[in-house]
Chains A and B, each alone.
Chain A
Amino acid sequence: MKTILKLALVMTLIFSFSAAYAAEKLNGAGATFPYPVYSAWAFDYNKVTGVQLNYQSIGSGGGVKQITARTVDFGASDEPLKPEALAKEKLLQFPAVIGGVVPVANLGNVKPGQLKLDSASLCKIFLGDIKYWDDAQLVKMNQGLKLPHSEITVVYRSDGSGTTAIFTEYLNGVCPAWKDKVGAGKAVKFPVGIGGKGNEGVANYVKRTANSIGYVEFAYAKQNKLDHTQLKNAAGNFVEPSFESFEDAAETGDFNPQKSFYLWLTNAPGKGSWPIAGATFILLAKEKTDSNKHVVKFFDWAFKNGDNKAKELVYVPLPKSLKDKIRGYWKANGLQ
């Protein structure tokens, strides 16, 4: 009898603890791309406030599904949802951090950042219309570089991913032929090339295959010192992928709170903007004001204190102007 009483006491204690704990816990799920920065922020936030934030990187599609089913406190997606879709599922949306896509090439004697490409030539390469590196169009742009007469091997992402979505969205916007033949999405039917699994797969294929070109996430390219290319942006300047050029894109991109920030950050108009950028988004269930307030508090804290951590992990923090817009959006929806 005594043992049963003791056991009951222990059980009650455990349950009451976990009940008290539950209030201090936030659950999120979604995109894999921002996982490292969210978890780094969550770690620091936990040290400061004691609030625990669980983020499961199950993929953007999963994130949208989970928040639509209301099984998590917030969802995360690399792909912005259209305002109509948000209205239909009663969701709120705001960007959290900026990332982007960088073309990487493997051309024996060409050093990182030397190769220059514009949207038309990049599109033609990925369509298979430009077959050799010494194509007149490429040579004209790269005076002084010795481009070999060798066949271009295109490498793409074989698994569905936000990286492919941003990249194809960019090609879709700048290249009518691409829009016609291929289109944009997380997985598309690439007309030429081979497919690597994940950023690491693409990077490995590019590294291993002479005269190849592929595309990977900015952070991945930077951390692994891959041979990135320069790109011509909408303003007509050749730019390198860097924190500055991504920030410039974020600042000049037309993020509109009225449209719940729906925007593909491709081909931003700024003078120094990197043309293939994209924000990753947070999704909230409109009616869950209480938990939303906790989520917003976390991101507000991260916007204030998390920029350095983000940069350390090679994510581009949102520019101040955009953060202010987001805070306005929170206020307008009664979350702050």
Chain B
Amino acid sequence: MPITFNKKNPVDLIFSFLTAVASFTVIFLIIGIIYVLISESSLAIERFGVIKFLTSTDWNPVKESFGALTNIYGTVITTFLSLIFAIPVAIGIAIFVTEISPSFLKGPVGVAIELLAAIPSIIYGMWGLFTLSPIMSRYVEPFLKKATDGIPLIGILFQGMPMGIDILTASVILSIMIIPFTASIARDSFNLTPAVVKESAYAIGATKWEVVKNVVIPYSKLGVFGGIVLSLGRALGETMAVAFVLGNNHRITTSLLDAAATITVTLANEFAEADNDVYLSSLFYLALVLFVMSFITLAIAKFFLLKAERKYSR
């Protein structure tokens, strides 16, 4: 990117300078954050190492023994489940809005979806605790437990007491929170499909289903995938909503009806009162792990989105 200054015009010069400052501030901020995370967690890195910290399931403030695996597990499993719940719904929404719905409905539905993204996460958390979680424990989870009882492998997923404060409930809330992201990116990608191609498909007698399946989705695959990874990033970092309904338990469980803890929830819960150095440092270490995880996710998303852009903007 060539930086061109118009030397004759001081206003232009100042303007260019200001925009450059604005962009570099962000870069410095990120470097600063990485520096703080690494320097603050250096004590824990020294004490536990990388492999041991990432593979230990112990999280015991009293004995000053910390490992991240239970937190990583909780983060990954809730994120994964929420994506499974959210993707079909989100893609359904996007297809409806772009291809199927009559034009007078497009506006209201689109706005409603975007409003969903505007709700603060603490409200999702409270709604989850007071409304969703009783419904889950009273109706949904006992049903799932009964339905899967005795089935090998799947039965294991629904063992234990249905309390509504568990991985399953947290994942459902998370999925509701990420639906708007996935849906709006998928919608924008679908809109990229050239009308000519679609119309040609209709002209040779394709049905709506065939057009969506054979034209729209293949055309916008990469964009949709990028959108999914972006919402994955959001799900990884979500804190308040999950803190309310996950049960905050540093254990690895096989049942979805058990409590667990994610990295962000552990940070939110334990930061304020972490009063010895190793404890605090381990929390920073945990934050660093999350930072790396999110960074990788976003890098992947960016890769796919760029590829999609390059492919279709020609």
Interface residues of A (CB under 8 A from B): 58-62, 64, 151, 153, 158-162, 182-189, 193-197, 201, 204-205, 208-209
Contacts and interface: CB of A to CB of B under 8 A. Distances in A.
Given A195-B259, A209-B163, A62 B272 contact: yes
B165 A194 contact: yes
A64 B275 contact: yes
24 contacts: A58-B272, A60-B273, A61-B275, A158-B248, A159-B268, A159-B270, A160-B270, A161-B273, A184-B62, A185-B62, A186-B61, A187-B273, A188-B60, A188-B62, A189-B250, A194-B248, A195-B247, A195-B261, A195-B269, A196-B247, A197-B269, A204-B130, A205-B163, A205-B165
Nearest to A212: B163
Interface residues of B, number: 31
Contacts of A208: 133-134, 137, 163-165
A143 to B, nearest CB: 28
A158 B270 CA distance: 8
B249 A59 contact: no
Interface in B20-63: 58-63
A286 B163 CA distance: 51
Nearest to A205: B165
B240 to A, nearest CB: 9
A184 B161 CA distance: 28
Contacts of A62: 272
Given A158-B269, A205-B163, 5 more contacts: A159-B273, A186-B273, A188-B61, A189-B63, A197-B244
Contacts, number: 94
B72 interface: no
B201 interface: no
Interface of B: 58-63, 129-130, 133-134, 137, 161, 163-165, 243-244, 247-250, 259, 261, 265, 268-270, 272-275
Contact of B63 (A159, A183, A205): A183
Instruction: Give the 7 A-B residue pairs with the shortest CB-CB distance, closest first.
Output: A160-B273, A158-B248, A195-B248, A183-B62, A59-B272, A194-B247, A61-B275
Contacts of A59: 272-273
Contacts of B58: 189
A159 B269 contact: yes
A204 B129 contact: yes
Given A159-B270, A208-B133, A201 B244 contact: yes
Nearest to B269: A159
Contacts of A184: 62
Given A182-B62, A185-B61, A160 B259 contact: no
Nearest to A183: B62
Nearest to A158: B248
Contacts of B163: 153, 194, 205, 208-209
Contacts of A193: 249
Nearest to A31: B273
Nearest to B137: A208
B275 A195 contact: no
Given A188-B62, A189-B62, A61 B137 contact: no
A205 B250 CA distance: 17
A151 to B, nearest CB: 7
Nearest to B163: A209
A209 B62 CA distance: 28
Nearest to B243: A197
A2 B100 CA distance: 70
A160 B274 contact: yes
A194 B59 CA distance: 15
A159 B247 CA distance: 11
A61 B274 contact: yes
B288 to A, nearest CB: 20
Contacts of B270: 159-160, 187
